[in-house]
Amino acid sequence: MSKKDYSKQVQQYIELVGGSVNISSLTHCVTRLRFAIKDKSLVKMDEIKKVEGTMGCQWAGEQFQIIIGGHVSDVYDAMCDTLGIDKKPSVEAILGEEKKSFKDKLLGTLSGIFLPAMPLIIGGGMIKAFCMMFLSLGLVNPASGMFTLMMAIGDAPFKFMPLVLGYSTAKQFKMNPMLGMGIGAALMYNSIQGVDIDLFGFTVNATYEGTILPIIFVVIFGSYVERFARKISPKLLSSFLIPVITFVVTVPIGFALIGPVFNAVAQGICDGIMWLYSNTPVVAASILGAFWQILVVFGMHSVFSSIAVMQLTSGTGTPILAMIFPAFFAQAMTVWAICLKTKSEKLRSVSMSAGISALLGVTEPAIYSVTLPRMKYFIISCIGTMCGAIVMALTGTLRYSLGGLGFFCIPTFFGEGVSVTSVLISIAISLVAAGLVSFVLTFITYKDAEADLENE
């Protein structure tokens, strides 16, 4: 099957954002093209929305986003080819640094650090999830060589996360990424994990395997050490002086001072979330469930996703990913209720396909093509998500790995010692709650807007 030609779509985008000279940088996430634009006044949003294959577009601070959907990487590749730019640009360039607000800088930094690690986390997470599911069902022998190997594959990305984040954090802060990875490797060296080490006049006992915050902040510190080393090192000796100075200064201070502080911060964040979840599960679920899709629309969900990944790499389950799980079904049921009620053939067709896409975990077509332009029904989908999230919280259901979308992420709920039956019952009740509330409220309240009927 031949690959679809996106050249026409790409050329239209380039022209409507003000031409190639108006694009400072370009990258993409799972469903969106993300532009740094020089002159915002040249961007023709209304016309971009009409380009075939476009689900919507928006500004997120100084970043311009075009919502494409699941084939965004193909459109991105085609645009890179047309513009003649590298298909793996540095993420830190996505927004003009001098124009970015603190929120934009924070979200951009988080994306730059965590996005490169996502294939490892998702791949390893899904393998481990299936291993746990098959083990719980008694379908595999835990002593077998293949099961042992598969578990090693699933665990490896989480155990060695400091290596990965050392590399991506270094790139984000314009440091030699190999030095960042070297710092991560040093911090998690086997013989110094969880043992007493005398440093700077006091005893340090720290563990960095599978941690996130310590390596990020140690490498950030290391980036400044490297810059200092570059300034003081003679060019003739810089090839070995820079890495030596960077390692000798960064690793001991990071291991003894920076790392323990951020280990404590990370533990405090996770403990705080689990305390709120354990003591007031309905409040936690209501807030996160009701506002999750709003956070996604504004691109602010990465903060919570980062915390969830932090919990997963520490070896514990996360309630965050469990409580947002019903969102895909709430969107699907909302747009299918619209599909049944609308008299517009065009809206019916769009709603049907968007509902199918939502079941597979890609909710952007439902959000940007159907519910968000009809705000009442977007709010209804948020209410449905909240109801499903409350069920997940009340049943104490957690997710133990990251991977899959929609129904395909169900295996990620199976952890060691978790009952498959109880998890499936919780998931079923949660989806019924989210889907039923969304469908019924939409079906009862939906009325076609004049614009929908006029566009027939």
* Rounded Cα–Cα distance for residues 449 and 374 (Å): 9
Can you name the residues that pair with 63 across neighbouring β-strands?
36, 60
Can you name the residues that pair with 34 across neighbouring β-strands?
27, 65
Asked if 322 contacts 392 with a C-beta cutoff of 8 angstroms, the reply is: yes
Asked if 285 contacts 323 with a C-beta cutoff of 8 angstroms, the reply is: yes
Give pLDDT, residue 93. 40
Give pLDDT, residue 5. 78
CB atoms within 10 A of CB 247: 18
Q: How confident is the model over 424-446, as pLDDT tens digits?
A: 999 999 999 999 999 999 999 99
- The token duo for 441 is 């409220």
353 burial class (0-12, 13-18, 19+ CB within 10 angstroms)?
middle
Residue keyed to tokens 């598969």: 150
207 burial class (0-12, 13-18, 19+ CB within 10 angstroms)?
middle
Asked if 128 contacts 401 with a C-beta cutoff of 8 angstroms, the reply is: yes
Residues 6+ apart with CB under 8 A from 350: 365, 369, 370
Give pLDDT, residue 111. 72
Give pLDDT, residue 236. 85
Residues in the chain with pLDDT values less than 70: 1-3, 30, 61, 70, 86-108, 298-300, 302-303, 404, 450-456
If DSSP codes are grouped into helix, strand and coil, which group holds residue 34? strand
* Rounded Cα–Cα distance for residues 44 and 42 (Å): 6
Sign for the pseudo-dihedral over CA of 357, 112, 389, 310: positive
- The token duo for 328 is 């895909």
Q: Is 181 left (phi over 0), alpha (psi -120 to 50) or beta?
A: alpha
Asked if 392 contacts 323 with a C-beta cutoff of 8 angstroms, the reply is: yes
146 burial class (0-12, 13-18, 19+ CB within 10 angstroms)?
exposed
Give pLDDT, residue 385. 95
* Rounded Cα–Cα distance for residues 183 and 162 (Å): 9
* Rounded Cα–Cα distance for residues 46 and 429 (Å): 41
Residue keyed to tokens 């924070």: 106
